Amino acid sequence: MANDDASPPILSAAARTSLFQTTHWSAVLAAGNLSSPTAEAALTALCQSYWYPLYCCVRRHGHSPEDAQDLTQGFFAKLLEKNQFTLADPGRGRFRTFLLRSLENYLKTAHRDRTTQKRGGGREVVSWDAEIAEERFAGDGVDHRSPADCFEREWAMALLEQVLDRLRREFLVSGREELFAALEPHLWGDSTSSPHARIAVELGMTTVAVRVTLHRLRQRFSELVRAGISDTVADAAEVDLELEHLRRILAS
């Protein structure tokens, strides 16, 4: 049973097999500065975070699963070997834009150079399950999207899922798994139509307590989304524009 006075945040995400973290500019800059003691960890996090959006983009360019794996690994290898993270500048745009443009340029070069070795020149920079990657790609329903749109949507979905996962973990720490499971499906819904009374009976709470908790969850969710977006832009004034961009992506 959950206590009526238990405080949020609570939430779950229909978690994907792999999520990429919202990239903080501090992590990007650390990755570009190889003399920094945090550079290796930052590089690893960035590669593991962005592999699927980039892989999705490469697949939408028409490459086979095998070639998409090779090209994605090759792209990461080039970023690391040439230390191209140093070219990312917070004052010149968003990191995901830099990454997408860099990938597009790499694919053009790889198209001209058919002698490129497999798996990124013999290196497997990022580890992932190829079968799971293809199952995920097939299940995403991306046939009508351009490569860039595919990348953008994966960024948007992962940003939201990161927030949901954070809320879920906070809830789990507080030991309120039942409340987590009951309220999560209603995070997106209209508060007037959420089954507050039914949830209250199931969890031994009052209807008012359920309503208040769900309201606070939605507030917390919005706060974390804004915070996540703030970490991806150089100017705080851009947050509202990015929020609108996120909504458009998810509505498409």
Write out pLDDT tens, residues 167-223. 889 888 988 888 988 898 888 755 556 789 999 999 999 999 999 999 999 899 889
d(CA 152, CA 41): 25
Q: Is residue 14 part of a domain?
A: no
In angstroms, the CA 10 to CA 220 distance is 9
The residue segments making up the domain with residue 241 are 25-251
Contact 85, 32 (CB under 8 A): yes
Domain-embedded: residue 17 = no
- Look at the chain and report how many structural domains it folds into: 1
Q: Which residue has the higher pLDDT, 2 or 237?
A: 237
Is residue 13 a part of any domain in this protein?
no
d(CA 200, CA 87): 53
Q: 177 lies in a domain?
A: yes
Three-state SS for 167-216 is HHHHHHHCCCHHHHHHHHHHCCCCCCCCCHHHHHHHHCCCHHHHHHHHHH
Q: Please check whether residue 193 lies inside any domain of the structure.
A: yes
Say if 229 falls within a structural domain.
Answer: yes
Mean pLDDT of 12-21: 35
Condensed to tens digits (0 to 9), the pLDDT of residues 31-89 reads 677 677 777 776 777 777 788 888 999 999 999 988 988 898 888 888 877 777 777 77
Report pLDDT digits (tens) over 98-118.
889 899 999 988 866 654 454
Task: Tell me the angle at which helices 147-173 and 95-112 cross, rounded to the nearest 10 degrees.
Answer: 130
In this structure, is residue 7 part of a structural domain? Answer: no
**4 within some domain:** no
- CA distance linking residue 209 with residue 192, whole number of Å: 14
**What would the two tokens of residue 37 be?**
């003691």
Neighbours of 212 (CB within 10 A): 16
